[in-house]
Structure 1
Amino acid sequence: MKLWLPLIAIAGLGLNALPAHAADDSWIVRFGAHVVDPKSDNGHLAGMKASVGSDLKPTASLEYKFTPNWGMDLLVAAPFSHSIRLNGTNVATTKQLPPVLGVNYHFMPDSDISPFIGVGVNYTRFFNTDSTGPLEGTKVRIDSSWGAAAHAGVDFRLNKQWIVTADVRWIDLASDVHVNGVKVGRATINPLAYGLSFGYTF
């Protein structure tokens, strides 16, 4: 429960400002690419050390700024693909979709260089998990995951409408793994998702 308190508090502060700043409404749509880079130690499955590979895919986000400083954004992406290794041997590949909904605070919204931070919630759905190598022929399933997310980045304004955004997100992501219906452990992935995008404001 304590994990969600900062998110609830920040979201509440931002939403409370909505009625007073309706005239300042604005939207930012961003298109770019992000790398999902799992942390180096992903735990143990069936007594063996697990590691999950990185992947780069196109992403898009939509942010609604209900005040000049506060915005709520949704990040979506093409499915990321990851290899799964046990003690260095490939045993499976999987795809996942990791939408993130969050609240951002922009420190200098009227500046040409505007840093921001944010918090949010992530839902990751794994699918099309295929076994290979020593596990070929078995059915591998990875449970979906809910978790908190942290966000930080910088907007670089090119002109009145166009911006470039560099950002990074940390995602609390851990999922149970099953082989032929039997739980073999829990993969703690906790990736960084970092990337670059072009944005259009309107």
Structure 2
Amino acid sequence: MAVMTRILKTLAGLGILALAAGAGAGHAADFKPKQKGTIIVAARITTVAPDESGDIKTAAGVDSGLNVDVNNSTVPTLGFSYFFTDHIAVEGILGTSKHQIKAVGPATDVKVHETWVLPPVVTLQYHFNPAGKVSPYVGAGVNYMNWYGGKDQNGFKVRLKSGLGTAVQAGVDVALKGPWSFNLDVKKVFYNTDARINNGALVSKVDLDPIVASAGIAYRF
């Protein structure tokens, strides 16, 4: 329920901003519509907000009473889209985010690891109203979480397993003047990983499932 509330709040915020941007776009000169063969490059500011859950257990499977906590990260990202038809496109996003991992419990809040993750996401999209100034879209696809540059903290040794996940997406493009547009996008990524702490003395199966919310400017070729 908490995840769904966050998604709805994010989508509501995107809708309000899109209406405001659309009002401004209405006074713009001619614009380039989406159509078959269009390529879109978008520069965005993106917040990666994990919705993590994961009990930390001993190697024997005994619950330690601790859970995994992962902080949010806001970073620049790039998106690349290609339109196979006026309505159907494929998008890939590139970016990397840095996260602090903690072990938390009733009387514990300790940093155990700091790491970067490269999470490329590829989605197949359907664009509504591609010839209009305000054109929403939905999509679904896959992602790959590649952890790198890890730094252990406070005497802990942490290893995270890279792997595949899935993603769903909703967003809107608001045409500005000429080939420029304003883009708002939110993705929900479903991904879990295995964490090994202190060479397996402690382990955790972590559901990260981040919300990836973005806003930026796009150029249509």
TM-score when normalising by structure 2: 0.76
Displacement of 1:102 in angstroms is 1.0
Specify which of 25, 38, 54 is matched with residue 50 of structure 2. 38
After TM superposition, the structure 1 = structure 2 runs for residues 123-134 of structure 1, keeping only pairs within 5 Å, are: 123-133=144-154
2: CA distance between counterparts of 1:178 and 1:200? 43
Match of 2:211 in 1: 192
What is the CA deviation profile of residues 65-124 of structure 1, one whole-angstrom value per residue up to 9, with x for unaligned ones? 1111100011001x2111111113211111100000111100110111111000010001
Displacement of 1:165 in angstroms is 0.4
After TM superposition, the structure 1 = structure 2 runs for residues 77-96 of structure 1, keeping only pairs within 5 Å, are: 77=95, 79-87=96-104, 88-96=109-117
2: CA distance between counterparts of 1:145 and 1:53? 20
Match of 1:149 in 2: 167
Displacement of 1:132 in angstroms is 1.2
Moved over 4 A (4+): none
Displacement of 1:180 in angstroms is 3.7
Contact 1:42 1:52 (8 Å CA) reproduced: no
Displacement of 1:139 in angstroms is 2.8
Aligned CA RMSD, in angstroms, stands at 1.4
Letter in 2 for 1:179: I
Q: Which has the larger radius of gyration?
A: 2
What is the CA deviation profile of residues 175-200 of structure 1, one whole-angstrom value per residue up to 9, with x for unaligned ones? 00112432611111100000101110
| Identical amino acids, percent of aligned pairs | 29
Displacement of 1:155 in angstroms is 0.4
Displacement of 1:24 in angstroms is 2.6
Match of 1:26 in 2: 38
Letter in 2 for 1:82: H
2: CA distance between counterparts of 1:141 and 1:122? 20
- Could you tell me which runs of 5 or more consecutive residues in structure 1 were left unpaired when the two chains were aligned: 1-22
Task: Name the count of aligned residue pairs.
Answer: 175
What is the CA deviation profile of residues 114-154 of structure 1, one whole-angstrom value per residue up to 9, with x for unaligned ones? 11000010001011222212xx2x43110002011001001
TM-score when normalising by structure 1: 0.83
Contact 2:126 2:139 (8 Å CA) reproduced: yes
Specify which of 62, 71, 82 is matched with residue 64 of structure 1. 82
Letter in 1 for 2:191: L
